[in-house]
Amino acid sequence: MNAPHPPKVAGIDSTVPTPAHTVAPAPPAPGATPVPAPNGPAPGTLLQDRLAGWVSDLTTLHELTERLVRTDSLDGALRELLRAGAALVGARRGLVVLEPADGLGPDSTIGLGLGRADLGHIETVPRGAMSYGELLDTPAGLPGGGEIRHPDLFAEDGLDPRHREVAARLGYAASYALPLTTDAAGRLGAAVWLYDEPAEPDERRRHLAGLYVRYATEHLARLVEVERTRACVATLSEELLPSRLPRVAGVQLAARHRTGPRGGGDWYDALPLPDGALGLAVGSVTGCGPSAVAAMGRLRASLRAYAVMEGEDPVAVLSDLELLLRLTEPARSATALFAYCEPALRKVTLAGAGHSPPLLIGERRTEFAETSVSAPLGMLACWEAPSVEFEAEAGETVLLYTDGLLHRTGDPTDRAFARLHAAAASVPRALRRDPAAIADHVLRTVLPDGLDAADSPEDVVLLAARFD
């Protein structure tokens, strides 16, 4: 005979089984007079059960907060907040709306058990009719700024018709919402959990959820600041790079740039020079963060000046750049490659300082250009290396790149070079006329599975020049 099922309540759906909070009574001492059992449990047993319940709650909160602090991205933290909150309040679905009150962003909406289309339906409901809208539009500290419970939406008077329609379409009948607010950062957003049937968490579950959400919001506030810093550094880095590539007869250009989360010093440049020539440059400054980005901007601006004055001699350009770096920033080093191109002759003269060799991609060959071994700028008392000349055939593309492309693969150097060569050799024939398509293909092939995303640690630069 099957045991009866307990009634359905909104409670903790913990992944750890709840331990029994009772202890077997001790056997009576020999010769002791039996004491009749009282009508109810002993006070000590009640206190013991209560303490065991508190320990269980604290253990659950500890496990959930441990999972939260292991998230290192804002998106991951928001998803963990939704999952943990759903377990605490006994819900199956929910959404979190991130919308900092200072208006500086980032803004996002993430769902648990809700697809993009479902979130789109919810966003069609007037904002003030939704729990998150009430929380986001209520000033902190005023009545209504705390939790919002709707234990039975369809039984409420005055439910917005559009809200009723969306709730019926998505199949939820109750909701429980909490604000994401801290004393220091103010309002960050709101979290809402949805129930398939009329339900609400009891007082104990609401208390646990409130404790967890307060802690989670502090973690979110730190990640919001990190995300803003990343966006600021990325914007600064992009602004210091060319806003558009020049148009030079006889050559087509394309560039791709991926900035790491901490902001690095990888850069590229392409500038027209006298007599129809073209200067191409890529490089990387040691370090990361705003200081490396600023150093990159200074180095790139200086190289442009040296290229205009003596671009036909790449060794002289890099020598001047090395002297400037050594005098102005003695604690920093950099790698660089500068190429002086004559498109009419398809002739390239280049010099490199500790930089990876360019890659020639054509119909009849895919090979690395032979360059001399040299040290990075700022590493020796006086940098010097010979230049190298080669001629590109009609239709060939010269691909310049920074070491971040190789480092992001996580492979040893020789294997990373082999991966790059294989990616370049596999460019489909139909794409070889477009340097942008070649750069995209190489980037996707060398860095699959999201390694080309902005949260990968290394900066990546590709600069492709296809000769007509």
Stretch 344-350: mean pLDDT, rounded?
A: 93
Stretch 151-162: mean pLDDT, rounded?
A: 91
Q: For residue 360, what are its two tokens?
A: 């020639």
pLDDT band at 408, cuts 50/70/90?
Answer: confident
pLDDT band at 455, cuts 50/70/90?
Answer: low
pLDDT of 222 = 92
What's the Cα-to-Cα distance from 330 to each of 137, 287, 290, 309, 378, rounded to whole Å? 53, 13, 18, 24, 7
Question: Which residues does 90 contact at the CB level (< 8 Å), separation at least 6?
Answer: 9, 10, 11, 12, 13, 195, 199, 201, 205
Q: For residue 179, what are its two tokens?
A: 């604000």
Q: Is the pLDDT of residue 30 over 70?
A: no
Least Cα distance to 315 among 343, 291, 340 occurs for 340
pLDDT of 10 = 43
Q: How far apart are CA 82 and CA 282, in angstroms?
A: 44
Question: Which residues does 66 contact at the CB level (< 8 Å), separation at least 6?
Answer: none
Coarse DSSP helix, strand, coil percentages of the chain, rounded to the nearest 5 percent: 40, 25, 40
pLDDT of 381 = 67
pLDDT of 376 = 87
Percentage, residues of the chain above pLDDT 90: 53
Q: Is the pLDDT of residue 119 over 90?
A: yes
Look at strands 334-342 and 277-288 and give their pairing: antiparallel
Yes or no: is domain 241-467 CATH 3.60.40.10?
A: yes
Stretch 354-378: mean pLDDT, rounded?
A: 87
pLDDT of 13 = 45
Question: Which residues does 266 contact at the CB level (< 8 Å), separation at least 6?
Answer: 257, 259, 282, 283, 284, 285, 296, 402, 404, 459, 460, 461
Q: At what angle do helices 290-310 and 203-240 cross, to 10 degrees?
A: 20
Q: Is the pLDDT of residue 288 over 80?
A: no
Question: Which residues does 169 contact at the CB level (< 8 Å), separation at least 6?
Answer: 121
Cβ-contact 139, 186 below 8 angstroms? no
pLDDT of 184 = 85
Least Cα distance to 372 among 317, 296, 314, 446 occurs for 314
Q: 37 or 310: whose pLDDT is higher? A: 310
Fold topology of 55-232: Beta-Lactamase (3.30.450)
Percentage, residues of the chain above pLDDT 70: 84
pLDDT band at 16, cuts 50/70/90?
Answer: very low
Q: What is the pLDDT of residues 165-189, one digit of tens each?
A: 999 999 999 999 999 998 888 899 9
pLDDT of 24 = 39
What are the sequence ranges of the domains in the chain? 55-232, 241-467
- Computed over every residue of the chain, the mean pLDDT equals 84
